[in-house]
């Protein structure tokens, strides 16, 4: 089997979808060595693009006019780059003698190959108010076409599988849930490693932690307000740390942080390198995840794997993923989040039972298991018998 696997999401600094694509591709290549999984455009282009995106990061100084000009130039360059990428991708698909094309980021190119598409969530469709207008417009134009082209759709949880059947009209046998895996780097860390991380980021001895891009559906406003409502002693004992960049439509959260939360002890680290995340999780008293909606929600499981308890919202997919192994709260329950933060600060053992149970629960989430599910989908699409879909790891 020769599979064309689109790796365009790996060209930028990795967030959730890119991490999932990279880890799934690596697991497929490792566990099914008799097959070919060609990651387009390859590591050389990825390294070049990584240098390009890093070079493009800079301050936002200057007047409004240069910024508008820069934005226009960036959009024009992006449109040209996308057109060129699409043309080259379609050429590679035509000449590469592939059996199947897997698009891990929901918007596929037209290639004529049997197609598997991954759709991690339906947030833009179900909650357009959480996204910028241009994103919603582009999504409306591309999403339905992508799903229509797909021979099979992979989603992140059974919660999203139900949504896909209800809102996209997909037949049950045309959509498969694949719970994401947790990388082996997410595990309990030594005290020395955690201490070095604290020193590197100037973190206090105790803190609660949020990891992820700050955007409307993540509900960081509730988290910031809950923290600001705490007594000063609780805030000083266990400050709130945000690890993630400011995303789209985050003006309200940014203003709340800078005008109030920062002065009351909250810390914003911005984007944290991948290599720092395990120790960052391990050093926290708790991982906080108040999101309104997710297709999966990796940070709680990653935190559990590192031995850190999670406090999450009751969003359907998140509740499915964490099960009974995290403290769950209604995302709109400001008082509940405030009380949880207060208890964490006052009672270091408040979440001890979740801390003990977390690693075993997280251990069930492996990229090898994901690869076997996805490989089975490939075989189903190609009309191959499932009995032959045995991975190298399973056969060992």
Are 386 and 380 in contact by the 8 Å Cβ rule? The answer is yes
* pLDDT value of position 141: 72
pLDDT digits 0-9 by tens, 311-328: 999 999 999 999 999 999
Interatomic CA distance for residues 372 and 135, integer angstroms: 33
Taking the C-alpha atoms of residue 97 and residue 2, their distance in angstroms, rounded to an integer, is 8
What does DSSP assign to residue 331?
T
Phi and psi at residue 255, to the nearest 5°:
-65, -45
Domains delineated in the chain? 2-181+366-395 (3.40.50.2000), 191-362 (3.40.50.2000)
Q: Percentage of residues in the chain with pLDDT exceeding 70?
A: 85
Q: What is the pLDDT of residues 139-165, one digit of tens each?
A: 777 777 888 889 999 999 999 999 999
Helices (H), 347-391: 352-362, 367-382
- Report the predicted TM-score, pTM, of the whole model to 2 decimal places: 0.84
Of 182, 180, 189, 156, the C-alpha closest to 362 is 182
192-200 — which CB contacts under 8 Å span 24+ positions? 193/278, 193/279, 193/282, 194/279, 194/282, 194/283, 196/279, 197/276, 197/279, 197/280, 197/283, 198/283, 200/276
What are residue 370's phi and psi, to 5 degrees?
-60, -45
Burial zone of 35 (CB within 10 Å; 0-12 exposed, 13-18 middle, 19+ buried) = middle
Q: Give the per-residue pLDDT at 24.
A: 94
pLDDT digit string, tens, across residues 257-302? 999 999 999 999 999 999 999 999 999 999 999 999 999 999 999 9
Question: CA torsion angle for 382, 387, 389, 395 (degrees, to 10)?
Answer: -170
Cis bond before residue 41 (omega within 30° of 0): yes
């Amino acid at each position: 089997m020769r599979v064309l696997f689109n790796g365009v999401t790996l060209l930028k600094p990795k967030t959730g979808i890119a991490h999932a694509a990279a880890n799934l591709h690596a697991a497929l290549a490792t566990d099914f060595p008799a097959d070919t999984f060609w990651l387009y455009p390859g590591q050389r282009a990825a390294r070049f693009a990584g240098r390009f995106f890093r070079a493009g990061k800079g301050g936002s100084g200057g007047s409004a006019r240069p910024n508008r000009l820069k934005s226009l130039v960036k959009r024009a360059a992006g449109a040209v780059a996308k057109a060129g990428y699409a043309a080259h991708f379609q050429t590679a698909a035509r000449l590469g003698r592939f059996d199947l094309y897997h698009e891990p980021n929901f918007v596929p190119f037209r290639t004529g190959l049997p197609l598997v598409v991954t759709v991690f969530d339906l947030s833009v469709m179900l909650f357009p108010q959480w996204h910028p207008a241009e994103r919603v417009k582009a999504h409306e134009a591309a999403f339905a076409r992508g799903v229509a082209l797909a021979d099979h759709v992979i989603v992140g949880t059974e919660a999203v599988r139900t949504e896909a059947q209800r809102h996209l009209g997909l037949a049950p046998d045309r959509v498969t849930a694949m719970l994401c895996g947790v990388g082996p780097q997410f595990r309990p860390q030594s005290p020395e490693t955690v201490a070095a991380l604290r020193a590197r980021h100037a973190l206090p001895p105790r803190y609660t932690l949020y990891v992820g891009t700050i955007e409307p559906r993540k509900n960081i406003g509730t988290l910031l307000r809950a923290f600001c409502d705490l007594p000063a002693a609780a805030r000083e004992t266990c400050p709130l740390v945000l690890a993630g960049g400011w995303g789209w439509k985050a003006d309200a959260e940014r203003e709340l942080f800078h005008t109030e939360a920062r002065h009351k002890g909250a810390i914003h680290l911005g984007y944290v390198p991948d290599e720092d995340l395990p120790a960052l999780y391990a050093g926290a008293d708790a991982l906080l995840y108040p999101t309104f909606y997710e297709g999966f929600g990796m940070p709680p499981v990653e935190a559990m794997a590192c031995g850190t308890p999670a406090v999450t919202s009751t969003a359907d997919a998140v509740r499915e993923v964490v099960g009974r192994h995290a403290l769950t709260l209604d995302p709109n329950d400001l008082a509940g989040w405030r009380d949880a933060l207060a208890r964490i600060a006052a009672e270091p053992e408040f979440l001890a039972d979740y801390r003990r149970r977390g690693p075993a629960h997280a251990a069930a989430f492996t990229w090898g298991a994901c690869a076997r599910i996805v490989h089975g989908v490939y075989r189903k699409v190609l009309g191959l018998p499932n009995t032959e879909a045995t991975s190298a790891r399973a056969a060992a």
